[in-house]
Structure formats: C-alpha cells, structure tokens
C-alpha cells in the first residue's frame, strides 16, 4: 500500500502511525537520500549535470539548491526524476518482496501520482489536508518560506488529481488523535484483507 500526498500533508506522520501498529514501512525520500549521499555515483552525476550551486564539492550536492532548481525548472525536474525514479522503485520492490506473507506494508511515496506509478501497482492512500495547513507545516518543518512551498505545490499534482487516484483518503486537517483513529480503522481493514489473501 502506498501513502502519498502533497508537501506538508502529513505523509510521514501517517507512516509513523502505521508503524506503531507493527506495519513494515518504507520511505521513498529516505531511499533518495541514501542514493544521493555524499560520495555516491548518483551525487556525482547530479553535481556534474547541474554544476554550482547544486554541486557542493566532489560528489556532494547542496540539497536546498537542488530543490530550488528543480521546482523552478521543469526540464531539470524531469531529468532528475528520470535518473532517480527507476532506482527508487527497484529498491521499493526489493524490500517489499521480503515482507512476510499474510501481512501488508506501507510505502511513503510523495510523487506517486506525478510519476504515473500508481496505476495497478499499489493500493493508494492519499493523505489530504487544506493547503493552508500544508504550507504552515512545510514552512515549520523545512525552514522554507511560503512562496517556496507554494511553488512546490504548483509543481505537484493538484489535490483533485491526487484524490481521483485514491483508493482510500485520510483527512489530516484535524488533530493527531483524529488522524490516529483513522489509521487504526484502516489498519484493521488492511490486516483483514491481507490475511484473507495469504
């Protein structure tokens, strides 16, 4: 099952809530961080392609500069996604294949809808939140200004596009307690379905 949603929607919080129920979880962003860590071939390729200020040294990248570049330049974003996404999904498939039968796991994939990987591959859980809440959370979490967050939102799938791909929707416009209650109900349903399939 894949968790997706726009920046600041609360995907990681939802994944943490599933993990608290003992559900195996995987984060596509963490895979990207590992693939592009200092000294990796991927970091070298990205630095060579973009140059300064993205290149922060030999096989090192400045993540803030990279984010600003790809969310202001559609061609740059397309190039980076074409480089990263095949390896990210290969790693997701590798890890998910090791999860126990009769159970389910969740994969947090921010750009699931945008990459076209949702169709037939995952059950899609969309974490939905008001745009004002997304902007406030992203600014607080990442130290970004509201204009940068809005630029990122405009580069992502729209709320309606994401909801149209959803098999399930989680409302994260309220409290953490309300979110955890929704996750608990979904966990019980997903667990029953997984045990039936085994």
pLDDT confidence of residue 170: 96
The total of structural domains in the chain comes to: 2
User: In this structure, are 113 and 56 located in the same domain?
Assistant: no
Do 50 and 134 sit in the same domain of this protein?
Answer: no
Q: Which domain holds residue 91?
A: 27-98
Q: Three-state SS for 26?
A: strand
> Are 126 and 187 within one domain?
yes
- Of 76, 98, 120, the last residue of a domain is 98
Domain shared by 107 and 174, yes or no? yes
Shared-domain flag, residues 43 and 90: yes
Instruction: Answer yes or no: are the C-beta atoms of 88 and 31 closer than 8 Å.
Output: yes
- φ, ψ for residue 66 (rounded to 5)? -65, -45
For the chain, the average pLDDT equals 91
Nearest to 102 by CA among 16, 3, 18, 24: 24
- pLDDT tens-digit map of 29-73: 999 999 999 999 999 999 999 999 999 888 899 998 998 898 888
CB 15 within 8 A of CB 124: no
Task: Choose the final residue of a domain: 58, 77, 98.
Answer: 98
- Verify that 122 and 198 share a domain, yes or no: yes
- Examine the domain organization and report whether 115 and 174 are in the same domain: yes
- Pick the range with the lowest mean pLDDT from 33-37, 143-147, 169-173: 143-147
């Amino acid at each position: 099952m894949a968790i997706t949603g726009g920046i600041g929607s609360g995907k990681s919080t939802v994944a943490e809530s599933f993990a608290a129920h003992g559900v195996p979880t995987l984060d596509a962003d963490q895979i990207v961080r590992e693939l592009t860590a200092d000294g990796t071939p991927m970091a070298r390729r990205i630095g060579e392609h973009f140059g300064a200020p993205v290149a922060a040294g030999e096989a090192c990248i400045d993540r803030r500069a990279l984010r600003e570049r790809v969310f202001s330049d559609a061609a740059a974003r397309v190039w980076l996604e074409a480089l990263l996404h095949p390896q990210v999904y290969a790693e997701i498939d590798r890890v998910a294949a090791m999860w126990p039968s009769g159970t389910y796991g969740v994969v947090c994939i921010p750009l699931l809808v945008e990459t076209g990987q949702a169709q037939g591959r995952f059950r899609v859980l969309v974490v939905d939140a008001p745009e004002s809440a997304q902007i406030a959370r992203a600014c607080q979490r990442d130290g970004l200004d509201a204009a940068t967050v809005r630029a990122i939102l405009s580069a992502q799938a729209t709320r309606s596009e994401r909801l149209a791909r959803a098999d399930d929707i989680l409302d994260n416009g309220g409290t953490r307690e309300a979110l955890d209650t929704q996750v608990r109900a979904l966990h019980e349903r997903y667990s029953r379905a997984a045990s039936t399939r085994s």
